[in-house]
Amino acid sequence: MKLVLFDFDGTLIDSAELIHETMRRTFRHYGKTEPTLDDTKSIIGLTLDIAISRLDGKPHVDDEAGEMMAYYKSLFSTVRTDLDFREPLFPGIREVLDDLFGRPDMLVGGVTGKSRRGLNFALDTHGFGPHFIVSRTADDCPSKPHPAMVNECCDATGIAPADTLVIGDAIYDMQMAKAAGATAIGVSWGYASVAGLLAAGADHIIDHPRELLSHLG
């Protein structure tokens, strides 16, 4: 039995434009220099208060970052509605997930910097809710690259980290997987560079979702 843990933003769903627009409006509201899209992509996957602090050039989360996080959260659904952002699945993701959902020797879960509410929305939007048997979010655990998300998913399912694969597009995903003792698989279609993923410890890089199946037998 294997446990397959997916990151969401940049790995399963293409949410960069939505996250960036919400972040841009937040920084503008606070009179700060608006991040570029590349800036925003570089922090996707981190817990929101840490992400905002890094974009603002701060070494630590402070009270203002907490205020900006609350403002960001208040804007997010509005931006999604205003601009008709749907957080679409990347091409090929649905077919691969449908394959995994049907395998008796695979358990599928999620490890994400999203809030619990954001994760539930994404799962419900794409009809995956019943199939993700375990998940951890920014509301449950320390921010990536801390290994808690992976460790807690392993504990909840009774599957050892050595039998767990973490699939993600960010260096934080790779670092988290390695810290937990899991296999780290980086995806090239997300928001980090392949060089960055490899430097962060990726065991494998895949260029298309179907390539994941070859790593699962």
Question: 2-14+89-216 in CATH: which number?
Answer: 3.40.50.1000
CB-facing half-sphere around the CA of 69: CA atoms within 13 A: 18
- Domain limits of the chain? 2-14+89-216, 16-82
Mean pLDDT of 122-149: 96
Fold of 16-82: DNA polymerase; domain 1 (1.10.150)
In tens, the pLDDT along 35-56 reads 999 999 999 999 999 999 999 9
The pair of three-digit structure tokens given for residue 206, joined into one six-digit string = 């895949």
As a whole number of angstroms, the distance between CA 167 and CA 177 comes to 9
In tens, the pLDDT along 52-77 reads 999 999 999 999 999 999 999 999 88
Q: What pLDDT, on the 0 to 100 scale, is given for residue 77? A: 84
- Common-topology check for domains 2-14+89-216 and 16-82: no
Q: Are 185 and 208 in contact (CB under 8 A)?
A: no
Residue in the structure block whose two tokens are 């290994």: 147
By mean pLDDT, which of 19-23, 73-77, 78-82, 163-167 is the weakest? 78-82
